[in-house]
Structure 1
Amino acid sequence: MLRIKRVPTVVSNYQKEEAEEGARRGGGCGRNCLNKCCIQGAKLPLYAFKRLTKIASDKGLPADESTEPPVAFLESLVLGEWEDRMQGGLFRYDVTACETKVIQGQYGFIAQLNEGRHLKKRPTEFRVDKVLQPFDGNKFNFTKVGQEEVLFQFEASEDDEVQFFPNAPIDVENSPNVVAINVSPIEYGHVLLIPRILECLPQRIDRDSFLLALHMAAEAGNPYFRLGYNSLGAFATINHLHFQAYYLAVPFPVEKAPTKKIITSAVGVKISELLNYPVRGLVFEGGNALQDLSNIVSDACICLQDHNIPYNVLIADCGRRIFVLPQCYAEKQALGEVSAEILDTQVNPAVWEISGHMVLKRKKDYEEASEENAWRLLAVVSLSEERFQEVNALIFEAIAFVDKGKGNAAQGSHEEADVKPQSIEEADAINNSPHRSRVTGTQECIVLQ
């Protein structure tokens, strides 16, 4: 059995060992939490979004949307409510005091010195060598956070119009989706989208939850507002289903990386492979409808989960581009195949780091940050070329009939009929890169069945 060093977790200000005993007392636990001891009769703001059937336009809004929403979603609601919680002292540190810079180089990796995130977190409470694990209510989960940490409920509108209700009852019988602060933030406005919070779902993507995340990206309508997902084994630190999101007004390096088209599915979803980037991954975009894109990506994620392959997801460009990045850093770490130099950085490469936003724990690493160092660290995260092709084969088999009755997803253009990437072309791209010496590893990713 692999033995993997425990990684830190993001915890609520209200996660206290002594509070567990209080939760057993009648009349609530005294923390105004989201658990059954306090939830009855509670009210929270509600943002009701319009269900989208068409892929977003270039502005990130549905092509048939002609009216402005009553609330400017990103700036007025998310950031305004987040600022209110910051003024209320609910965060573990002041992320606005963290130094940040764009590293000189072709890709523009972003470096942030965030010592507070490293010093003020507790160990995770679950195994990190299994992507799928059952929910454990005795361990930390989001029903234990204080209701003051929740910004609003996020639900589909019943009358197909965008609406905002500042004081709406929580429907306990129909578990709400909520947006809450991340008390150990990476960036200003860092929030969590928690689907169907009271169902206590483990950290695993399903079709409904992924579609919800795409709706949030489209509703924000801003390409600098991105959502991310980490599976267990890929540095998710809480086994309760959630996506992360924040606003950062610079392009992410992964968004600037070149791609090579593999195929266009029968429902119009184009699938490409990242080129000349330290972490191998797939890019999904397009589709005849938002749900077509969502179904194909979520089924790819479900395939990775079912085969115990850790992965990260970045939802970018208002939901129009989605990056799926399988990784094996934890397995390499457990096998002693990560250099001491990289381990000493104490960087846990989750979705934001893999996307190019490097959250650094030590001032030395921040001062010496370079594109070469970022590339070297991320290259360790990536699957080998051979293993990546094996994983791709699993994914394409899983999504081949994602829309039954609409044809096989492999029925793309004739010249793209072979769903496997042309590895020779990718090798040429990497060999011609100034970083080629840093992506030549042959380490396989261990997949635990």
Structure 2
Amino acid sequence: MAPLFVSRVPTVYSLQQLEEEYATPEKGALSHPLKPVGDLTSSLLPRLACLSRTSAVPSKRIRSFGDLQAIVPDSDEERSLTDFSDEDGVVPQNPPLFGFGEGSSLLDTVLLAEWEDRAEQGLFRYDVTACPTKVLPGAYGFVAQLNEGRGSKKRPTEFRVDKVDQPFDEGKFNFKKALQQEVLFQFDASAPGGLTYSASAPVSQSPNLVFINISPIEYGHVLLVPRVLDGLHQVVDQRSMQLALNLCHESNNPYFRLCYNSLGAFGTVNHLHFQAYFLAAPFAVERVPVEPIPAAKGLYSNIIISRLLQYPVRGLVFEADESAALLAPAVAAACQRLTAANIPHNLFVVDCGQRVFLFPNAFAGAKAAGRVPKDLLDTMVDPAGFEICGHIIMKRAEDYEDLSQQSIWRLLEYASFTEEEFEKFILLALDL
């Protein structure tokens, strides 16, 4: 099978053409595109506002991709990104890859139209749509991408990787130094009037901003930066976790996933941010079986906490039983405990904010201790949240061509805690 390529959204679309029902006839307007974000005084930026989701919200329970055994049998052939059935065994003929079309959300429409506008302006370091992508043979359906620009043009890390909690440093790169033209819109998740969009609106005192990622992994790759002017370091709290879940909820698209990487778990900027993008295929981890943790039952009302089974990286799964709004306190509390214990960790949010995966990440420690074999180090792949969950970004053509489920499994195992370490991790993360 020939390598697959990510499809572009046709550039002829305007916001008005795409979603006339939302009455958004004009593209977002930036009053000072070449000024830094830190100088937002008197600036006008597009603004998308939604209802607060801190109250009870019925769980969507999307589970769009079913389970591992039922959906993805072993195969000796690479598969197309559309070769995946839904939970009823039906293969979607035209999956809503980027949310355009009937039933698409306002957030998806605005985000991708603005993202495409920045692509046309040449703001990205490379063209991610030219990166070949394939689904590897095997039961897990790992998705691999060759992205040589990610290795050669990505901004280098500027801080220690052995300490999770580090103070915000104005002298190093942070998102206040990014240009305002990299901002797609303000995201206000506390608007009492419901979902609205303004193409040009005054900024709040310290707005939540959605940026492009100038070194993208996928089409539509964005960064959510809470309260950008407050100088928050890369540590999750309840307020920021709730904001991230709100973004996923408003997307209302199972192909939109969100990730958080702490320092030491391959977060590369010490300014609080989450990453998100669209991928029209299941991540391997989404279909892996789980086992509820008996000691966690009743720990948080209407939340099921389980552990992953049959996966190379040991992790926890937080699932909303009735309300996604209840997830933020539970997940944030776990992250706070891990940060205090200096344990690097990654979060992965799926099902429109209904399910959150939490992984302790041991890879940097294994590298420092000399336990990672040279052939794996030579690939320059440091598994952060997206890689751990099944989207592997290769930086050299030879590694991409030779990649297999077995080689990915071998790489990811070095990111995992041992069983003994993971049992202690569960006690700490859940405060048992």
Q: TM-score range by the shorter chain?
A: 0.7 to 0.9
SS in 2 for 1:143: coil
Residue number in structure 1 paired with 2:142: 109
Give 1:54's match in structure 2, choosing from 42, 56, 60.
56
Residue number in structure 2 paired with 1:134: 167
Query: Does 2:187 correspond to 1:184?
Result: no
TM-score (norm 1): 0.77
Q: Distance in 1 between matches of 2:356 and 2:272?
A: 19
Gaps of 5+ in 2: 1-31, 63-101
1:193-220 deviations in whole A, cap 9, x for unaligned?
Answer: 0000000100000000000000011110
Q: Distance in 2 between matches of 1:176 and 1:345?
A: 38
Give 1:233's match in structure 2, choosing from 238, 254, 264.
264
Tell me if the contact between 2:56 and 2:326 (Cα under 8 Å) persists in the aligned partners: no
| Cα pair distance change 1:252/1:71, threshold 3 Å | closer
Residue number in structure 2 paired with 1:328: 362
SS in 1 for 2:176: helix
Residue number in structure 2 paired with 1:222: 253
Q: Distance in 2 between matches of 1:46 and 1:77?
A: 10
Residue number in structure 2 paired with 1:394: 428
1:16-55 deviations in whole A, cap 9, x for unaligned?
Answer: xxxxxxxxxxxxx99411113xx21100011001122234
Tell me if the contact between 2:59 and 2:321 (Cα under 8 Å) persists in the aligned partners: no
Q: Distance in 2 between matches of 1:179 and 1:255?
A: 25
Structure 1 residue 302 displacement after superposition: 0.8
Larger radius of gyration: 1
Query: Does 2:204 correspond to 1:164?
Result: no
Tell me if the contact between 2:105 and 2:252 (Cα under 8 Å) persists in the aligned partners: no
Tell me if the contact between 1:51 and 1:160 (Cα under 8 Å) persists in the aligned partners: no
Tell me if the contact between 1:43 and 1:170 (Cα under 8 Å) persists in the aligned partners: yes
Q: Distance in 2 between matches of 1:221 and 1:85?
A: 23
Q: Distance in 2 between matches of 1:259 and 1:290?
A: 19
1:101-138 deviations in whole A, cap 9, x for unaligned?
Answer: 00011010000000011111242111010000000000
Query: Does 2:188 correspond to 1:155?
Result: yes
Q: Distance in 2 between matches of 1:388 and 1:184?
A: 33
Query: Does 2:374 correspond to 1:340?
Result: yes
Q: Distance in 2 between matches of 1:338 and 1:350?
A: 15
* Percent of pairs with identical residues: 51
Query: Does 2:158 correspond to 1:125?
Result: yes
| Cα pair distance change 1:158/1:75, threshold 3 Å | closer
Counterpart AA for 2:264: G
Counterpart AA for 2:270: N
Q: Distance in 1 between matches of 2:399 and 2:429?
A: 36
Counterpart AA for 2:200: N
Counterpart AA for 1:252: F
Residue number in structure 2 paired with 1:414: none
SS in 1 for 2:46: strand
Tell me if the contact between 2:58 and 2:322 (Cα under 8 Å) persists in the aligned partners: no
Residue number in structure 1 paired with 2:120: 87
SS in 2 for 1:271: strand
Residue number in structure 2 paired with 1:13: none
Residue number in structure 2 paired with 1:213: 244
Structure 1 residue 291 displacement after superposition: 3.1
Give 1:252's match in structure 2, choosing from 283, 289, 305.
283
Give 1:77's match in structure 2, choosing from 110, 117, 123.
110
Q: Distance in 1 between matches of 2:381 and 2:246?
A: 31
Q: Distance in 1 between matches of 2:414 and 2:104?
A: 43
Tell me if the contact between 1:105 and 1:371 (Cα under 8 Å) persists in the aligned partners: yes
Q: Distance in 2 between matches of 1:59 and 1:286?
A: 8
| Cα pair distance change 1:290/1:59, threshold 3 Å | closer
Structure 1 residue 159 displacement after superposition: 2.4
Gaps of 5+ in 1: 1-28, 61-68, 401-449
Residue number in structure 2 paired with 1:200: 231
SS in 2 for 1:272: strand
Q: Distance in 1 between matches of 2:193 and 2:292?
A: 35
Counterpart AA for 1:279: V
SS in 2 for 1:314: strand
Q: Distance in 2 between matches of 1:255 and 1:225?
A: 13
Structure 1 residue 287 displacement after superposition: 4.4
TM-score (norm 2): 0.80
Residue number in structure 1 paired with 2:37: 34
SS in 2 for 1:86: helix
Give 1:372's match in structure 2, choosing from 398, 406, 414.
406
Counterpart AA for 2:244: A
- Size of the aligned set, in residue pairs, is 358
Counterpart AA for 1:356: G
| Cα pair distance change 1:347/1:70, threshold 3 Å | closer
Q: Which moved more, 1:288-297 or 1:372-381?
A: 288-297
SS in 1 for 2:414: helix
CA root-mean-square deviation: 1.8
1:70-115 deviations in whole A, cap 9, x for unaligned?
Answer: 9833441111110000000000000000000000110100000000
SS in 2 for 1:208: helix
Q: Distance in 2 between matches of 1:70 and 1:374?
A: 36
Give 2:416's match in structure 1, choosing from 382, 393, 407.
382
Tell me if the contact between 1:217 and 1:319 (Cα under 8 Å) persists in the aligned partners: yes
| Cα pair distance change 1:41/1:391, threshold 3 Å | same
| Cα pair distance change 1:152/1:288, threshold 3 Å | same
Structure 1 residue 342 displacement after superposition: 0.8
Q: Distance in 1 between matches of 2:368 and 2:108?
A: 42
Tell me if the contact between 1:59 and 1:221 (Cα under 8 Å) persists in the aligned partners: no
Tell me if the contact between 2:242 and 2:328 (Cα under 8 Å) persists in the aligned partners: yes
Tell me if the contact between 2:33 and 2:179 (Cα under 8 Å) persists in the aligned partners: no
SS in 2 for 1:135: coil
Residue number in structure 2 paired with 1:312: 346
Query: Does 2:323 correspond to 1:289?
Result: yes
Tell me if the contact between 1:41 and 1:169 (Cα under 8 Å) persists in the aligned partners: yes
